[in-house]
Amino acid sequence: METSAVAEGGSRANEERNQESREQMLSRHRKEVAELQNKEVSLKKAAAKGSKAEQKAKKKQVEDEISQLSVQLKANHAEELASLGYKNTESREKDDINNLVMAIAGVSTKGHGDSSKPKKAVKRREKRAQQEAAREQRIEEEQNNIISDRMVENEKLEEKLKPLGLRVNEIKPDGHCLYRAVEDQLSFHARNASPYGYLELRKMAASYMREHTSDFLPFFLSENKVEVDSDSSPLERFKQYCEEVETTAAWGGQLELGALMHSLKKHIVIYSGSFPDVEMGKEYKLRE
C-alpha cells in the first residue's frame, strides 16, 4: 500500500513538472513569435529606402525570408509540443472550417446550440427558393392544363376525321411544321412519294408571293405593323419577309398556305376539333 502511495505521489509530481515545462515552452514560443514579428517590421523599414524598383525588390526578399522563417518556426513549435504529448488539433480545425463554410452557404449545422436568428441573406435565399418553387408549380399546372386541352382537342378532331377515313398525324413543331404537313399530305395522296420536300415548298411559297406582291401585300400589312419611323418601305419589308420565308425556319400562316395552294393548285381543308373547318382553293377541287 505504501509503495502504491509513493508511486501515485511521484506521478503527481512528474505531472506538475511536465505542466510547468509546457507553460514555459508556450511562453518561449510566444516570445519567439513576437521576435519574428519585430524582425519583420525592422526589415520592412530598412527595405523602404531607395528607388521604387529597389523597394519593391527588397520588400519581396523580406516577405520570402519572413515566410520561410515563419514556416520553420511553426514546425519547430509543433515538434516540441508533440514531444510533450500535445495532440494534433488539425482535424478539429478542419471541422470548424467545414462548419463555417456550411454556415456561409446557409446550411444549418447541428450541435452548436446557436439560437441566433437567421441572417437577412439566408432569409432572402429562403424567400427566393419559395418563390421559385411556387413558379415551378404554376408552370406545371399550366402545362397540365395545356396537355388536357390538347387531349380534348385531339379527341374531338379524331371523332371528326374518323367518318372521313382520316387520322391525326403528329408533325414536329419546329417552325417548318406547316410545310412538313403539306409535304405529308402530298406524300399521302401520291402513295408515300411526295414530289416536294418542305424546303422546296418554302421556296415555292416565297416565289409565288414575290410574283403576286399586289395580292399579298395588303394582307401582309394588316398582319405585320410597319413602324412609322422605319427606314424600310412596306414593299421592302414585304420582300424581306419573303426572304425569311424562303431561308429561315419562320413559322408559316395563312399567307404561306395560300401561296402553296395556288402554286400546287390544290384544294386544302384545315380541320379543327373545336373550330369550324377552313376550306381553301375550292376552284382546284374538281381538278383533283
Name the burial class of residue 178, with classes exposed (0-12), middle (13-18) and buried (19+) by CB atoms within 10 angstroms of its CB: buried
For the chain, the distance separating the N- and C-terminal CA atoms, rounded to the nearest angstrom, is 124
Most confident of 45-59, 134-148, 211-225, 254-268: 254-268
Note the pLDDT of residue 255: 94
pLDDT category, 94, cuts 50, 70, 90?
very low
Residue 5 has pLDDT above 90, yes or no: no
Q: Report the range of poorest mean pLDDT among 39-48, 97-106, 156-165.
A: 97-106
Where in the chain are the domains? Answer: 2-89, 118-168, 171-287
Average pLDDT over residues 212-232: 78
Residue 246 has pLDDT above 90, yes or no: yes
Residue 153 has pLDDT above 50, yes or no: yes
Could you count the other beta carbons within 10 Å of the beta carbon of residue 156?
14
Q: Which CB contacts under 8 angstroms, 24+ apart, belong to 38-45? A: 39/66, 39/69, 40/66
Pick the closest to residue 241 from 272, 210, 263 (CA basis).
210
CATH fold group of domain 171-287: Cathepsin B; Chain A (3.90.70)
Q: Report the range of poorest mean pLDDT among 68-72, 95-99, 281-285.
A: 95-99
Residue 109 has pLDDT above 80, yes or no: no
Contacts of 232 (CB under 8 A, 6+ apart): 226, 240
Q: How far apart are CA 19 and CA 181, in angstroms?
A: 91
Average pLDDT over residues 189-195: 83
Residue 182 has pLDDT above 60, yes or no: yes
Note the pLDDT of residue 230: 61
Contacts of 280 (CB under 8 A, 6+ apart): 257, 258, 261, 267, 268, 269, 270
pLDDT category, 143, cuts 50, 70, 90?
low
pLDDT category, 118, cuts 50, 70, 90?
low
Average pLDDT over residues 50-78: 81
pTM for the whole structure: 0.48
Residue 1 has pLDDT above 50, yes or no: no
Residue 121 in grid coordinates: 441573406
Average pLDDT over residues 232-240: 90
Residue of higher predicted confidence among 91 and 38: 38
pLDDT category, 227, cuts 50, 70, 90?
low
Residue 4 has pLDDT above 70, yes or no: no
Q: How far apart are CA 245 and CA 239, in angstroms?
A: 10
CA–CA distances in Å: residue 82 to residues 13, 18, 104, 137, 282: 21, 13, 33, 59, 100
